[in-house]
């Protein structure tokens, strides 16, 4: 699975950077086709060719966090990180791996706290990385510090199960 972030130019050829225009290209793990996945949209992304769920990974800041994360139809794993933080750089690939494995079930939103001090204050970030799970805009879990992908996946599954009652993480059913 490969992803890359790209911007989009508006009709006047100017580069725009808001949530409505932030797009990441994702290669479908099922059929290999490249897809454009917007940072904010209704539903969850699916491959335009085979309809398989795609991992939804986006970046957000103070200006667009509401649209990108809080209004998402899926539960959101928020990564509050900083460029100078070694553990943040180490946990980022693990978070992306979790997002890929849970494609269609969660959205991963990365927030650089140095560029988004309002969100750092709002979520009272005292150490990075700080991970949050939001469900319908409401914080249901919080964890500070790096962890391997399997531990992060277990934490996400348990947090979502607790938020939705007793649910089997594999099937999503009670």
Q: Which residues are catalytic?
A: 85, 88
DSSP the chain: --EEEE-EE-TTS-EE-STTT-EEEEE-TTT--EEEEESS-SS--B-TTT--B--EEEE--TTTHIIIIIT-SS-EEEEEE-TT-HHHHHHHHHHHHHHHHTTTT-EEEEEETTT-HHHHHHTT--SSSEEEEEETTEEEEEEES---HHHHHHHHHHHHHHHTSS--TTTS--
């Amino acid at each position: 699975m490969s992803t890359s972030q790209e911007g989009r130019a508006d009709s006047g050829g100017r580069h725009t950077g808001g949530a409505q225009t932030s797009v990441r290209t994702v290669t479908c793990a099922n059929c290999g086709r490249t897809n454009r996945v917007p940072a904010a949209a209704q539903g969850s992304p699916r491959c335009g060719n085979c309809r398989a769920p795609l991992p939804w990974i986006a970046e957000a800041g103070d200006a667009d966090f509401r649209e990108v994360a809080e209004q998402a139809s899926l539960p959101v794993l928020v990564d509050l990180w900083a460029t100078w933080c070694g553990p943040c750089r180490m946990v980022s690939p693990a978070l992306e791996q979790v997002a890929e494995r849970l494609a269609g079930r969660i959205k991963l939103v990365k927030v650089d706290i140095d560029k988004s001090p309002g969100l750092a204050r709002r979520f009272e970030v005292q150490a990075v990385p700080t991970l949050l799970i939001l469900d319908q805009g409401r914080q249901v879990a919080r964890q500070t510090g790096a962890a391997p992908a399997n531990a992060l996946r277990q934490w996400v599954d348990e947090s979502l199960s607790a938020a939705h009652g007793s649910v089997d993480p594999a099937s999503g059913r009670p």
